[in-house]
Each structure stands twice: as C-alpha cells, then as structure tokens.
Amino acid sequence: MDQQQLIDDLTKRLQAKELISGVISQPRSKTESAPKIKWKPVELKGIYHIQMEYQYGQTMKHENITLTDIEHKVATLTDEYRQFQLVFAGESLHIQLTKKKKVSVSSSPNDQQSASLSHNRKKNYVLDPDEVHPFLVRLGVQTKDGKIKSQKQDKFKQINRFIEFAEDALGYLPTDRPLKIIDFGSGKSYLTFALYHYLHEMKGYEVQLTGLDLKKEVIEHCAEIARDLNYTGLTFQVGDISDYNASQEIDMVVTLHACDVATDMALGRAVKWGAKVILSVPCCQHELFTQLDSPALNVMNKHGLIKERFASLATDSIRAQLLDLVGYDTQLVEFVNLENTPKNILIRAYYTGKNPDAQTVEETKAFLQFLNAKPFLANELKEELKEVLS
C-alpha cells in the first residue's frame, strides 16, 4: 500500500463513521509536532466531527474536524506521523510508515460496535432492525422474517434518524392533549408510519398524524395499510400543501425530501399555524438557482455545479433566517451522513415567539439584497415579515 492508498482507505472509513478511537504517534519532526494525537468521534451542534487531541506532555490542544475536511487532515498527518493505531468497528489497524512513506498495515478483528455517535449500527436504531415491524413489512422495507431489504437500508437509516430528532423535540410539544402532526409530501410514507409507530405504539402518546401528498394511489395504499394495522390516529389525505387548511391547531410539521418549493410551502403553513416544532429535510432546490444573477457571484455561478450547491445552501440559510425572523429558534443540522443521501440538511425550528434582534433583521436584508433574489418562502411569509423587513 502506498501513502495515497492509505489516505483513501482511512478517509473512507472515517467518512463512514466507523471510528471508535485512535492514537497517532512517532512524529517525523520531534520539535514541531505534538508527540501524540488521540482521535475520537464527537457530535457538535448536531454535526459529526473527529476530535483530535494533541498531547504535549501535560498540555493538550483540541481540534474538531468535519467529515468534509477529514481527507485533507489525514493527508497532512500521514506526512507528519509514522505510526497510526486505529480502532474501527469490527477491525483494529496498526499502520507504520517508513522514512520514505512506504506503508505497512497489520489488521486484527475486534468485537467493538461503532461509537455511540454512529448511526449505522444496529443497537443505535430507534426501531430495532432485528424485530419484525408489521408496518415496515407492509411498506416493503422489511421482509416477512424481519430483514431490512438491502435497497431500503438508506431509507431505514433516514427514518430512524428522523425519529431521533422528533424525540429531541418532544419537550416543545403540549402534553395535555393529543399531538397534532402533519407530514407534508409524505409519499410512500415510511416516515409517517415510523413516526406514528414510535410516538403512539412505542411511547404511548396520543397522536393525530396526517400524511398529505399529491399522489392519490399512493395515499390510498397508505390509508389501507393504516386501517389494516389499526393505526387509528394515522390518516392520509390527497392534496396540495399550498391548499391545505388545518381545521385544528397543528403542533408539529415534518417534511422529508418534499420537492423544491414544496418545502417552503410546508414551512409557510407551519408558521401560519404557529406550529411549535418544524422538522424539515429539503430536497432538490431549483428555485433560487434560476434567480442568482448578481455579478458579484460570477466566480461561483460560472461553474454550474458550484452554482447549484450554492443556490441550495443559500436557500436553506435563508429559510433558517426567515424562520428566526418570525419567532423560531432555528438550526440547520446534519441529518444523516452524506453517503446515505446528499440531501442531508435538516431544518429544525422550535417556536419561541421572540421578536428578532436587529442584527438578524439587518443581515437578512443585506443577504437578500446581495443575492438579488426573491425566495419563495419570503413571499409565503410576506404578511408575517411585512413589518420586520420593511
């Protein structure tokens, strides 16, 4: 193995969140580098990082590296250090680099599960993958004998992760009456069923959960499954988000990969209802892409790929900002790892009712002006934002 192969292999394992712990030692420069660096995975503000603890005798320094930056870091460290002892889930590696950076690796199996931060291990799933869940069987995620189908593994991880976010949000929801929840753009409704199953069947909450989608046949099929399973608090409706009017107060609005501006429609509805919690994982984003024509952005926009990513990131940043302006405390957090789905940003907004501070107002105005863009959500919320952004 050469150094580049080592970098590729370690990057892949680290990005798959398989790391349990590591110790890096034998620096090439004894004067410039820390004698030892310890690695461990940590979650900071909802984002998975590898923490590097540089040990200089009694003194320590910490650095947290995101999975996006990890390849560069591994490349640097394999230049600077000669010994890597790494424990990954199921396999421990002892890596030695020679003076000329030839690599030798010895590997031994271990019994260790992934660190608790990793979401791809059985014991960390909210829905036990070894148990037969009739709704997952009916939805074609699990076989009758309880095996998660290989092509549904990513979806299974996504719904488990989403449930974790819902669990974290429970403290913001009322406890004195049934919870009213809407899943907009529910599609085949894996998440809708899983959320109902978790909240009602597993946790005993009274829940009235509605899945709404444009697709009549899919919705009818879901309604039939809910009836068969006697999920009495779970209903499905055919309809367009923008036309949907709730007959009662809605506590939580969720979306998972609702297409393009369907996410904005859902956020707009949630705000108008004063929903206490919004959990929304956006999908493809085309709307801002067609509007970004500010000359100051040419260096980015001339590359289609960059423009697309920037439009998407700008859209989510604006969504978060606008939600803050109308009384929410909003964060953009990593949903699942990038390997699972590139659509991996989750908008988490808790209603506080607080008036926005002057800085949030000013920076939002400046950003919208700089982009020369009129985002869909700003239009959806024009009444609510009228005084704030005037």
Ligand X SMILES: C[S@@+](CC[C@H](N)C(=O)[O-])C[C@H]1O[C@@H](n2cnc3c(N)ncnc32)[C@H](O)[C@@H]1O
Write down the least CB distance from residue 318 to ligand X, Å: 20
Contacts of 99 (CB under 8 A, 6+ apart): none
Write down the least CB distance from residue 258 to ligand X, Å: 5
Contacts of 35 (CB under 8 A, 6+ apart): 25, 27, 55, 56, 57
Cα dist. 124→198, 202, 258, 348 in Å? 15, 16, 26, 21
Q: Distance between CA 84 and CA 342 in Å, rounded? A: 30
Q: Distance between CA 87 and CA 109 in Å, rounded? A: 10
DSSP letter for each residue of 173-222: S-SSS-EEEEEET-TT-HHHHHHHIIIIIIT---EEEEEEES-HHHHHHH
Write down the least CB distance from residue 255 to ligand X, Å: 7
Give the nearer residue to ligand X in terms of CB position, either 5 or 237. 237
Give the nearer residue to ligand X in terms of CB position, either 103 or 139. 139
Write down the least CB distance from residue 166 to ligand X, Å: 14
Contacts of 18 (CB under 8 A, 6+ apart): 88, 89, 90, 114, 118
Site residues, ligand X (CB under 6 A): 185-188, 190-191, 212-215, 240-242, 256-259, 262, 265, 283
Inter-residue contact 197 to 133 (CB < 8 Å): yes
Q: How many CB atoms lie within 10 A of CB 31?
A: 5
Write down the least CB distance from residue 157 to ligand X, Å: 12
Q: How many CB atoms lie within 10 A of CB 311?
A: 23
Give the nearer residue to ligand X in terms of CB position, either 241 or 345. 241
H-helix or E-strand spanning residue 89: none
Give the nearer residue to ligand X in terms of CB position, either 82 or 152. 152
Give the nearer residue to ligand X in terms of CB position, either 187 or 233. 187
Give the nearer residue to ligand X in terms of CB position, either 191 or 336. 191
Write down the least CB distance from residue 345 to ligand X, Å: 14
Q: Which long-range CB contacts under 8 A does 42-47 form with residues at least 24 apart?
A: 42/117, 43/117, 45/331, 45/333, 46/331, 46/333, 46/334, 46/346, 46/348, 47/333, 47/334
Give the nearer residue to ligand X in terms of CB position, either 37 or 194. 194
Write down the least CB distance from residue 25 to ligand X, Å: 45
Q: Which residue is nearest to ligand X (CB)?
A: 187
Write down the least CB distance from residue 279 to ligand X, Å: 12
Give the nearer residue to ligand X in terms of CB position, either 190 or 236. 190
